Amino acid sequence: MIDFRERCTTLFLLQPHIRTVSMPHAPGWPGTCKKVRLLRLDRSNMQALQSGTNTLFLLLGAAMVLAMHAGFAFLELGTVRRENQVNALVKILVDFAVSTLAYFFIGYNIAYGVQFMHSADILAEHNGYALVRFFFLLTFAAAIPAIVSGGIAERSKFNPQLFATAVIVGFIYPLLEGVAWNERFGIQAWLAQTFGAPFHDFAGSVVVHAFGGWVALPAVLLLGPRHGRYHKDGRIAAHPPSSIPFLALGAWVLAVGWFGFNVMSAQTIDKISGLVAVNSLMAMVGGTLAAWFAGRNDPGFTYNGPLAGLVAVCAGSDLMHPLGALIVGAVAGVLFVQMFTCAQNRWRIDDVLGVWPLHGMCGAWGGIAAGVFGQKAFGGIGGVSVWSQWLGTAGAVVLALAGGAAVYGAIKLTVGLRLDREEEFNGADLAIHRISATPDREMAG
């Protein structure tokens, strides 16, 4: 058989204008010779194609992470008691809206030095990639109040929480984001010079999840436990999830969206990595099985297990070997079960969804684990420092604790954080929204 590629006298690809190429006779080609016209895309067209592809790629990621907020809502809805289900749904949505404005006008500029007070034709340059990048990173920032929401559920006032959302997303979170992902304030350069590598957090184990979980801890402590949860004689009142199906739905929506959260953190299509996808999968599986086993087949633990694994793998998902990711996820699953049990039963911290152990502890573990399992000695790609990971994680925890204590402490001293006892007894649905998830409990008028 004649290979026409070997017989072509001249072949011009990606040239500045149209060329004519002569093709010899070969099986499957009608006629003795055909002329094929090959059109080259000039440099500007190639750049436009690349820009458009990157914009579409990141837009899909933003949509997937946006969908995760539905997962947050259903996870909270399924966990809280029935009289607080409407509040869970409304709170997540309005928190997202407030986060968008705070991040658009203030937070994004603090983190990246970019603001959008330009004409639309300037903003639309490069297919609007800068705007889509903002959208993508906004969905990360808005996860902070969604995380906090689960910890303070069933007894927090609505409007004060919106104020806290605006302050945290607009002012506090961007400080950490700017340091970790935009090398602001010189901290990353100092870590690289001192320890050989900067702090590494590919998709937000520390920057998003640990920060959100540790911000939530002061809020939960300042609010105090739900009335009737803990008794003076040592008894603990059980508040089981109101809907395991909704809890499971929320966990599944979050888990699926997480692949956009992690994989699309590359932010350009040429940097996409199947390693990130498979590491996320392995950590999810490891977290599921470990939480299922440690939690003795409890469905609440089982469905939070994959989330624990995914939280932990975010930081090093681009560095680890899949077996390392499996171990990181499994440790996170056990860590969540043990810390949730200790916090609720031994320390009497009424963190309704367990956001401190799930996001705070597992996120911190993920930041440190990236420095271990990202090393070449453990099958990783390398280029990461254990000391930088420790210091970066510790710094994020300190900022989160200080910021959370300052914001929620100030609110408690001024307008108050908590519903009154009667409102809490009736439920946040009726107290705040004057409607319930089931019509038999609605308040007239």
Across the range 225-238, mean pLDDT stands at 92
Encode pLDDT of 92-125 as tens digits. 999 999 999 999 999 999 999 998 988 898 888 8
Mean pLDDT of 299-307: 98
Same domain? For 22 and 168 the reply is: no
Both 149 and 21 in a single domain?
no
Bigger pLDDT: 37 or 317?
Answer: 317
How far apart, in whole angstroms, are the C-alpha atoms of residue 291 and residue 298? 9
- Residue 226 · residue 79 · CB < 8 Å: no
Structure confidence by residue, pLDDT tens digits, 157-210:
999 999 999 999 999 999 999 999 999 999 999 999 999 999 999 999 999 999
30 C-beta neighbours (distance < 10 Å), count: 6
Query: What's the rounded mean pLDDT across residues 218-235?
Result: 94
Asked if residue 442 belongs to a domain, the reply is: no
Residue 134, domain member (yes or no)? yes
pLDDT score of 7 more than 60: no
Q: Which of 235-244, 299-308, 374-383, 407-416 has the lowest mean pLDDT?
A: 235-244
Tell me, yes or no, whether 267 and 127 share the same domain: yes
CA distance 91 to 10: 66
Mean pLDDT, residues 339-362 = 98
Return the structure tokens found at 240: 């089981």
Check residue 42 and give its pLDDT: 67
Are both 17 and 103 inside the same structural domain?
Answer: no
CATH number of the domain to which 254 belongs: 1.10.3430.10
Gyration radius of the chain's alpha carbons: 26
8: confidence class by pLDDT, cuts 50, 70, 90: very low
Domain extent, residue 123, equals 57-432
pLDDT of 102: 98
CB 408 within 8 A of CB 164: yes
pLDDT of residue 41: 52
pLDDT digits (tens, 9 = 90+) for 51-99: 899 999 999 999 999 999 999 999 999 999 999 999 999 999 999 999 9
Q: 434-440 long-range CB contacts below 8 Å, 24 or more apart?
A: 435/86, 436/82, 436/83, 436/85, 436/86, 437/82, 437/85, 437/86, 438/82
Average pLDDT of the segment spanning 221-235: 93
Considering the chain, what is the average pLDDT of its residues? 91
Q: Is there a single domain that holds both residue 129 and residue 24?
A: no
Give the number of residues written for the chain.
Answer: 445
Residues 165 and 100 reside in one and the same domain = yes
Q: Percentage of the chain with pLDDT > 70? A: 89
Strand partners, 34: 23
Query: Is residue 31 domain-shared with residue 61, that is, in the same domain?
Result: no
Mean pLDDT of 373-379: 97
Q: Are residues 31 and 72 in the same domain?
A: no
If asked whether residues 357 and 327 sit together in one domain, one would say yes
Can you tell me the mean pLDDT for 402-430? 97
Distance of CA 275 to the CA centre of its chain: 18
In a domain, residue 386? The reply is: yes
Does residue 48 lie in a domain region?
no
Q: How much helix, strand and coil, in percent to the nearest 5, is found in the chain? A: 70, 5, 25
Is 333 in the same domain as 304? yes
Q: How many domains does the chain have?
A: 2
Residue 50 has pLDDT above 90, yes or no: no
pLDDT of 3 higher than 90: no
Three-state secondary-structure class, residue 245? helix
pLDDT score for 298: 97
Q: What is the pLDDT of residue 309?
A: 99
Structure tokens, 87: 């509040």
Distance in angstroms between the alpha carbons of the first and the last residue of the chain: 86
Flag whether 46 is in a domain: no
**pLDDT given at position 32:** 44
Q: How far apart are CA 291 and CA 273, in angstroms?
A: 28
114 and 238 housed in the same domain: yes
Residue 39 clears pLDDT 70, i.e. is over it: no
* Structural domain contains residue 45: no
- pLDDT score recorded for residue 124: 86
Q: Is residue 29 part of a domain?
A: yes
pTM of the model: 0.89
Question: Tokens 């089981």 correspond to what residue?
Answer: 240
Helix axes 143-151, 43-79, angle to 10 degrees: 10
* In a domain? residue 379: yes
Kindly state whether residues 328 and 408 are assigned to the same domain.
yes
pLDDT value, residue 65: 98
Question: Would the pLDDT of 13 be above 50?
Answer: no
